[in-house]
């Protein structure tokens, strides 16, 4: 990395306990800690710089509008898109719901099919089920390979011109397995289907270029990217956004309103009804600047090294079952014989270690794995070997407690 790990860790006040000790945070896959640079930028935006955007004729409002739209450009550039193709949403969940309720409701019909996969997060399952109840299309599920990757050979055999959408996770939030997006897109395009990619777990660690990937929609959240909660982004090809109707009505998203008829603003404004998350957008962009200064290649290499180390250590425990591929992207999921993940998580918390324990909003995947839940250690750019050592000490203590 361009800076030492100690320097980077010092940027994150959340890595300390209230008493000033080290907190071993291994739940970045759920939400990442925030660097001081993001916190300070948001504090200024909420304080000395604060004003509304797009509406005021006074100087500070104009300055805040410039900052807000500069944030959109930063985030678009981060994934290789254009600023007019970025819609701010409350997060990836809302972005998928937006696509479902706008593009999906307009373009899907009874008899059509869409393809998801076994490892999808609930936010890439439930919105399509809600729409299916209204329209009557079919949802099919692509299986996984033995090591927990989306089986694109199986997808190739499934896909026909009846499929109108393929919607898949770039990186699994449970297994850390990485999708070959280019191949998935090529397969979908061969039958005329659109492609949505859930990039929540990818953008904090992998370079993303939506133009090179060839997908039609790409969604992600700020809070997994070392930014604030409550904001995310939908990227979509300009011609697709231009053809999509609004899904929420209110201020900002209009051109002209009368009681007889309302006309819409152009995209992306058409999809941003109401006063936007101004401070959060500015924090979002600051988080992007922060990780780009460190370098995504360096972050990914660092996390891969930690994954390899942890998986190697966990293999030494006869009582532990590992899930997913060996070289997963920043995530290690496992279970411990005779110990529910919630019990393990509670004991680890007593040791100052934070992991995620549960179904990770991926219950169909848990059913596939044959477990009710897993323990998940997920790394961030600030994670280090001391976090792994603390986790292993906590596992040893758990073994002693449960005999």
- pLDDT at position 57: 86
Residue 36 lies in a domain: no
User: By C-alpha distance, which of 284, 300, 271, 89 is closest to 208?
Assistant: 300
Is residue 204 within 8 A of residue 14, CB to CB? The reply is no
Per DSSP, the residues of 138-149 read: EEEEE-B-TTS-
Q: Could you give the C-alpha distances from 67 to 35, 172, 254, 267, 292, in angstroms and in order?
A: 20, 33, 22, 19, 19
Rounded to two decimals, the pTM is 0.97
Task: Please indicate, yes or no, whether residues 331 and 228 belong to a single structural domain of this protein.
Answer: no
Query: What range does the domain containing 76 cover?
Result: 41-292
Task: Please indicate, yes or no, whether residues 190 and 267 belong to a single structural domain of this protein.
Answer: yes
Task: Please indicate, yes or no, whether residues 104 and 239 belong to a single structural domain of this protein.
Answer: yes
Q: Can you tell me the distance from the alpha carbon of 163 to that of 187, in angstroms, rounded to the nearest whole number?
A: 11
Task: Please indicate, yes or no, whether residues 307 and 386 belong to a single structural domain of this protein.
Answer: yes
User: By C-alpha distance, which of 179, 176, 190 is closest to 152?
Assistant: 179
User: By C-alpha distance, which of 296, 340, 355, 344 is closest to 171?
Assistant: 296
CATH of the domain at 350: 3.90.1150.10
Task: Please indicate, yes or no, whether residues 65 and 88 belong to a single structural domain of this protein.
Answer: yes
User: By C-alpha distance, which of 117, 307, 286 is closest to 205?
Assistant: 307
Residue 236 lies in a domain: yes
Residue 288 lies in a domain: yes
Q: Can you tell me the distance from the alpha carbon of 70 to that of 289, in angstroms, rounded to the nearest whole number?
A: 12
Residue 237 lies in a domain: yes
Task: Name 171's bridge partners.
Answer: 178
Write down the catalytic residue from 142, 200, 215, 361.
361
Task: Give me the percent of the chain exceeding a pLDDT of 90.
Answer: 96
Task: Please indicate, yes or no, whether residues 300 and 217 belong to a single structural domain of this protein.
Answer: no
Asked which of 292, 313, 344 is the last residue of a domain, the reply is 292
Catalytic residue flag (residue 142): no
- How many domains is the chain built from? 2
Tokens of 187: 């397969």
The one-digit pLDDT tens for each residue of the chain (403 residues) are 668 999 999 999 999 998 889 999 999 999 999 999 999 999 999 999 999 999 878 999 999 999 999 999 999 999 999 999 999 999 999 999 999 999 999 999 999 999 999 999 999 999 999 999 999 999 999 999 999 999 999 999 999 999 999 999 999 999 999 999 999 999 999 999 999 999 999 999 999 999 999 999 999 999 999 999 999 999 999 999 999 999 999 999 999 999 999 999 999 999 999 999 999 999 999 999 999 999 999 999 999 999 999 999 999 999 999 999 998 999 999 999 999 999 999 999 999 999 999 999 999 999 999 999 999 999 999 999 999 999 999 999 999 999 7
Asked which of 225, 260, 292 is the last residue of a domain, the reply is 292
* Residue located via tokens 């678009």: 76
Is residue 142 within 8 A of residue 115, CB to CB? The reply is yes
Residue 108 lies in a domain: yes
Task: Please indicate, yes or no, whether residues 312 and 343 belong to a single structural domain of this protein.
Answer: yes
Task: Please indicate, yes or no, whether residues 356 and 229 belong to a single structural domain of this protein.
Answer: no
Determine the 3-state secondary structure of 276 from DSSP: coil
Task: Please indicate, yes or no, whether residues 50 and 155 belong to a single structural domain of this protein.
Answer: yes
Residue 15 lies in a domain: yes
Asked which of 292, 313, 331 is the last residue of a domain, the reply is 292
Residue 58 lies in a domain: yes
* Helix axes of 278-294 and 59-78: crossing angle, nearest 10 degrees: 40
Task: Please indicate, yes or no, whether residues 146 and 172 belong to a single structural domain of this protein.
Answer: yes
User: Which residues are CB-contacts of 62 (< 8 A; sequence separation ≥ 6)?
Assistant: 56
Task: Please indicate, yes or no, whether residues 182 and 261 belong to a single structural domain of this protein.
Answer: yes
Residue 17 lies in a domain: yes
Task: Please indicate, yes or no, whether residues 209 and 81 belong to a single structural domain of this protein.
Answer: yes
CATH of the domain at 73: 3.40.640.10
């Amino acid at each position: 990395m361009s800076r030492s790990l100690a320097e980077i860790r010092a940027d994150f006040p959340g890595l300390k306990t209230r008493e000033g000790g080290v907190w071993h945070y291994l739940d970045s896959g759920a939400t990442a800690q925030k660097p001081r640079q993001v916190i300070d930028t948001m504090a200024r935006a909420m304080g000395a710089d604060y004003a509304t955007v797009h509406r005021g004729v006074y100087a500070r409002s104009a300055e805040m509008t410039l900052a807000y739209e500069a944030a959109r450009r930063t985030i678009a550039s981060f994934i290789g898109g254009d600023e007019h193709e970025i819609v701010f949403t409350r997060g990836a969940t809302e972005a998928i719901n937006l696509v479902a309720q706008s593009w999906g409701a307009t373009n899907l019909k009874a008899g059509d099919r869409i393809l998801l996969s076994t490892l999808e997060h609930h936010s890439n399952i439930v919105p399509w089920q809600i729409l299916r109840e209204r329209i009557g299309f079919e949802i099919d599920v692509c299986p996984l390979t033995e090591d927990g990757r989306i089986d694109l050979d199986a997808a190739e055999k499934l896909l026909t011109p009846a499929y109108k959408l393929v919607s898949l996770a770039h990186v699994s939030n449970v297994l850390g397995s990485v999708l070959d997006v280019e191949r998935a897109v090529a397969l979908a395009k061969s039958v005329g289907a659109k492609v949505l990619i859930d990039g929540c777990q990818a953008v904090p660690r992998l370079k993303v270029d939506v133009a090179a990937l060839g997908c039609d929609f790409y969604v992600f959240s700020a809070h997994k990217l070392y930014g604030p909660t409550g904001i995310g982004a939908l990227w979509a090809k300009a011609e697709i956004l231009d053809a999509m109707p609004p899904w929420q009505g209110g201020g900002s998203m209009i051109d002209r309103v009368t009681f007889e008829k309302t006309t819409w603003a152009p995209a992306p404004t058409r999809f941003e009804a109401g006063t936007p998350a101004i401070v959060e957008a500015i924090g979002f962009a600051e988080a992007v600047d922060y990780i780009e200064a460190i370098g995504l290649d360096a972050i990914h290499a660092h996390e891969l090294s930690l994954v390899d180390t942890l998986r190697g250590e966990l293999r030494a425990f006869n009582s532990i079952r590992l899930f997913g591929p060996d070289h997963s992207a920043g995530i290690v999921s496992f279970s411990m014989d005779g110990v529910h993940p919630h019990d393990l998580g509670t004991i680890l918390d007593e040791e100052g270690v934070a992991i995620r324990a549960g179904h990770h909003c991926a219950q169909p995947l848990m059913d596939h794995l044959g477990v009710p839940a897993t323990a998940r250690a997920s790394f961030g750019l600030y994670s280090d070997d001391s976090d792994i050592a603390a986790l292993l000490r906590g596992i040893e203590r758990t073994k002693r407690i449960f005999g």
